[in-house]
Amino acid sequence: MTREILRVGAPSLSRVAAEVVDVTDPAVRRDAADLREALAAFRAAHGFGRAIAAPQIAIDRRMIALAVPGWPDVIVNPEIVWTSDERVTLWDDCMCFPDTLVRVSRYASISVRCVDLSGAVHLKAQLPLAEAELLQHEIDHLDGKLSFDRAVGEHAIVQRDVFDADRAAFARQVDYCPQP
């Protein structure tokens, strides 16, 4: 059964998620399956979405499902262990507000340590920008933060249809704008 993705304003989106103590716990495994299913359903419905954090579907655990080559499909207790000095601005989108984009500032690169569902520890060092911004966004969810909390500059919030109608103009307002 696919859990609904919470929308902006849901109180649980502003809470810090609980650390996962035992990745073999059957409840953790069920929640991980729900997380993977929610990501697949969102991708099928909206055509985008590389990751989803557990709090986005009302699971109070530090877990993220990923659809990113080279990563486990679910990571547990991710932590940023290094950040670049360089920062970039970009238009951030989110499953909790799929019709809106927010201009934010993120580190250009980060290193992340996490655990997979087998208990293996992973260190992903000096991530390329596309992965770095994604992981920062998802870890923000685990810490009770949304893109709106990181908005920068005037007119930092734009509706997706307005953005799509003049993508080139909006791309000129940021340092990084991935292709659709």
Q: Is 114 annotated as a binding residue?
A: no
What 3-state class would DSSP assign to 30?
A: helix
Q: Is 46 annotated as a binding residue?
A: no
Is 138 one of the annotated active-site residues of the chain?
A: yes
Q: Which of 19, 79, 138, 154 is catalytic?
A: 138
Cα distances (angstroms) measured from residue 136 to each of 28, 31, 105 = 23, 22, 10
User: d(Cα 66, Cα 32) in Å, to the nearest integer?
Assistant: 11
User: d(Cα 163, Cα 39) in Å, to the nearest integer?
Assistant: 24
Q: What are phi and psi of 69, to 5 degrees?
A: -55, 140
Q: Is 94 annotated as a binding residue?
A: yes
∠ CA 24-73-19, rounded to 5° = 50
List binding-site positions. 94, 137, 141
List binding-site positions for Fe cation. 94, 137, 141
* Residues with catalytic function: 138
